[in-house]
Amino acid sequence: MRPTHPPQLRIARPSRDLSAAAAFYTRALGLELLATFADHDGVDGVILGHEGWPFHLEFTHRRDAPVAPRSTDEDLLVFYLPNRAEWKAAVQRAREAGARQVESSNPYWGVRGVMFLDPDGYRFVLENAGWG
């Protein structure tokens, strides 16, 4: 049976520096800081997104045993931006925020998109296309 309410998605990742991660994603992608938490059983974090959107990004940092972020070529966040002007503006903001553009090991992502690295080395794609 299909759920009556669509699920919401939160992607949680460790970060070396929560302030840097929050500053980067608010500047580069225009996300808002929705919440912060401190010392939840030794874990600090920030939650980014927009009120009402069905997804959030959460970055965490363990106080006693920090987890080093380790991303692979295929660990991606893909943001679909079908409006060309909005996509161009997002690419420009990512560059201005210090994102380093990288080539994808999967050529598909370079056809209509641009791949970047965030401060923790995670890859994200700004795709100039609609979903699907």
Q: Domain segments of the chain: what residues?
A: 9-62, 76-127
Pairing of strands 43-49, 100-102: unpaired
Structure confidence at residue 125 (pLDDT): 97
Closest by Cα among 96, 97, 10, 19 to 58: 10
Structure confidence at residue 42 (pLDDT): 93
Structure confidence at residue 107 (pLDDT): 93
Fold match between 9-62 and 76-127?
A: yes
Q: State the virtual CA torsion across 103, 107, 108, 113 in degrees, nearest 10.
A: 30
Give whole-number Cα distances, 130 to 9, 59, 84, 89, in Å: 19, 27, 11, 16
84-96 helix and 18-29 helix, angle to the nearest 10 degrees: 150
Q: Is the pLDDT of residue 2 over 90?
A: no
Structure confidence at residue 3 (pLDDT): 75
- Taking only the tens place, the pLDDT of each residue in 33-44 is 999 999 999 999
Q: Which CATH number fits domain 76-127: 3.30.1360.70, 3.30.450.40, 3.40.50.300, 3.10.180.10?
A: 3.10.180.10
Structure confidence at residue 72 (pLDDT): 87
9-62: in CATH 3.10.180.10: yes
Q: Is the pLDDT of residue 1 over 80?
A: no
Largest CA distance in the chain: 45
- Taking only the tens place, the pLDDT of each residue in 83-111 is 999 999 999 999 999 999 999 999 999 99
Q: What is the pTM of this model?
A: 0.88
